Amino acid sequence: MAARAIWKGVLTLGSTELPVKLYSAVEPRKVSFRLLHKSDREPLKQRMVDPESEEPVEYEETRRGFPTDDGRVVILDSEELEELQPEPSREIELTRFVPLGAVDPHWYDRPYWVGPDGNTDDYFAFAKALEESGRVGIVRWVMRKKEYVGGLRAEDGYLMLVTMRHAGEVVSADALQPPGGRKLDARELKMAKQLVDALTGEFEPEQYRDEYAARVMELVEAKAKGKKLPKKRARRKAAADESLADALEKSLKAARAA
């Protein structure tokens, strides 16, 4: 089935405008359940309830409040919040180009394919030039009343746009506790490097399925047919007194055997 565009815009490169379409590059496969009443198995509904009177509250009767550090709650009206929303726009502004390795992976969030919307020659020319440059473009745009920052890169001859987190959302390694404990043993370090070498290979994404979701669907299909699934064997846990060197040695032997 052909991909469907979720948004249309114009990629601006200085005075050049390139009409484009956005397509989702990921398709979540989460398992969703319906919440049922235990006795009659009827679907349940969620309602907002006043904690004092326990009476249901309609959405029209609600207000948004922001809790402050001193314990107060500031009430914000819908009209006030609407005035703060960004101006609607179809423009994807390309602000600069940076080397591919300049943006750490933890800044990236959600990927989108960017396809041409009419002018394919200019689109594929730009995609090829971007790929050969070894750079990523930093862009910003407004989509569905929300401001975004993203990285524009070339992938398999097409453009890919990955949304990025804003400043203040990313936690750096400086926030972690500095390394401590005993000095690293030379034997442990050697075996750890050997384990990395033994497990080095090609990335095969088909091997990394959502096993829980797959098992849930197997259970659903089995119960629908009046059957039961065999219980899964529990993984063996390492002994509490096992040293890091012993654990690495076992892992290394298993990796070599595989």
Q: Is the dihedral of CA 181, 184, 185, 189 positive or negative?
A: positive
Which of 123 and 232 is assigned the larger pLDDT?
123
Residues 6+ apart with CB under 8 A from 248: 188, 191, 192, 195
Burial class (CB in 10 A: 0-12, 13-18, 19+), 124: middle
Domains in the chain with CATH codes: 7-26+86-164 (2.40.290.10), 186-257 (no CATH)
pLDDT at res. 12 = 94
The residues with which 56 forms a beta bridge, in sequence order, are: 49
The mean-pLDDT minimum among 88-92, 166-170, 189-193, 242-246 falls in 242-246
Identify the band that residue 82 occupies on the pLDDT scale cut at 50, 70 and 90.
very high
* 1, pLDDT greater than 70: no
pLDDT at res. 228 = 83
Identify the band that residue 244 occupies on the pLDDT scale cut at 50, 70 and 90.
low
